[in-house]
Each structure stands twice: as C-alpha cells, then as structure tokens.
Amino acid sequence: MKSYQENKKALVDFEIIEKFEAGIILFGWEVKSIKNHQITLGGSYVKIKEGEDAYLVNAKIKPWKFSAFVDKEQPDREKKLLLHKKQIRYLLGLQKQSGISIVPLSIYSNEKGLIKLLLGVGKGRKKYDKRNRLKEKDMARRIEQDRRKHNF
C-alpha cells in the first residue's frame, strides 16, 4: 500500500470516529498526477448529493504537464466516489447529525494498483480541545525523554 498524500490537518481539526475506504473515478491525467504526488487534500470534504452519490469536493490535482486534455477538463471538478448504497445511506444519516463531517484522510494505491481514498467520519474539535491535545502530547514526549535519560 503506497500512500500518495495524507491530510494531517484533518486529524488535528477532527476527532475521527469511523473510517471508510472508497474508490474514486478519475481521468487518466489525474491518475498520473496523483502517482507523482501532485494532489492536495487540505480543505477538501465529501458531499452526498440527493442521497445517491458521494463526491469529493475541493481536492486540488495539479494538471499533468504532458496531457493534451487538461485544458478541456476541470482540474478542481468534483470527483465521484465509489461506495456501496448501504455505506452512502449510513454516511448520509451521520452527516445529518450536527457537528459531523466526512473528510478525506489519505489517498493511496492498494495491492492491485487501484487508487483508493480513506474517508474519516469526524466531529469537529474546538480550539481549546486542540490546545489540550497538544499539551498532552508534549507532556508524554517529555516523560518519554526523561525515562530514556534515566534508563527506567
């Protein structure tokens, strides 16, 4: 499993409750660009239209420089996600709850070479929650350093 891009900001901004794997419909030049790590997931999210289809919105894929069709296609277009109907209905029910968002966590290729998207269902964190989390991580790091220093 080769990871092309991770959305680290989503892990900071959201408390991830559940994860899903989804396929994604792409053009050929988009696949080439993703395999060259030319994608940005920051600020992107998943939108479910009419309870039928899930789309990835605001994912930026840099146009592949050798493609002749890039100008005709929209690089910032909404990309359709491949999920089962049960999963889409489940995600739609979760998304209707207040404070729940569906965000992409990473984009990678599986063993067969197919591009997959890891989705996270999360609840947004408040600013004070983010600060407390950073303090806890800092304290744990300092304790670990002291433990190594004194050979405990």
Cβ neighbourhood burial of 107 (10 Å; 0-12, 13-18, 19+): buried
Q: Are 65 and 50 in contact (CB under 8 A)?
A: no
Distance CA 28, CA 39 (A): 14
Is 135 a domain residue? no
Phi/psi at 12 (5° precision) = -80, -45
CATH number of domain containing 37: 2.40.280.10
pTM: 0.79
Is 138 a domain residue? no
Is 46 a domain residue? yes
What is the pLDDT confidence band of residue 151, given thresholds at 50, 70 and 90? confident
Is 83 a domain residue? yes
pLDDT by residue (tens digit) across 40-56? 998 899 999 887 899 99
pLDDT by residue (tens digit) across 45-90? 999 988 789 999 999 888 877 776 665 557 678 999 999 999 999 9
Q: What was the pLDDT predicted at 47?
A: 92
Q: What was the pLDDT predicted at 88?
A: 93
Is 148 a domain residue? no
Distance CA 26, CA 116 (A): 11
Q: Are 132 and 126 in contact (CB under 8 A)?
A: no
Q: What was the pLDDT predicted at 66?
A: 76
Cα dihedral 6→82→62→60 (10° resolution): -70
Is 87 a domain residue? yes
Distance CA 96, CA 23 (A): 23
For the chain, what percent of residues have pLDDT higher than 70? 93
Q: Are 21 and 111 in contact (CB under 8 A)?
A: no
Domain that holds residue 111: 2-124
Q: What was the pLDDT predicted at 73?
A: 59
Is 37 a domain residue? yes
Distance CA 40, CA 109 (A): 16
Helices (H), 51-126: 85-96
Is 132 a domain residue? no
Domain total of the chain? 1
pLDDT by residue (tens digit) across 98-109? 788 999 999 999
Q: Are 66 and 100 in contact (CB under 8 A)?
A: no
- Token duo for residue 14: 């959201």
pLDDT by residue (tens digit) across 101-149? 999 999 999 989 899 999 999 988 888 877 888 898 899 999 999 988 8
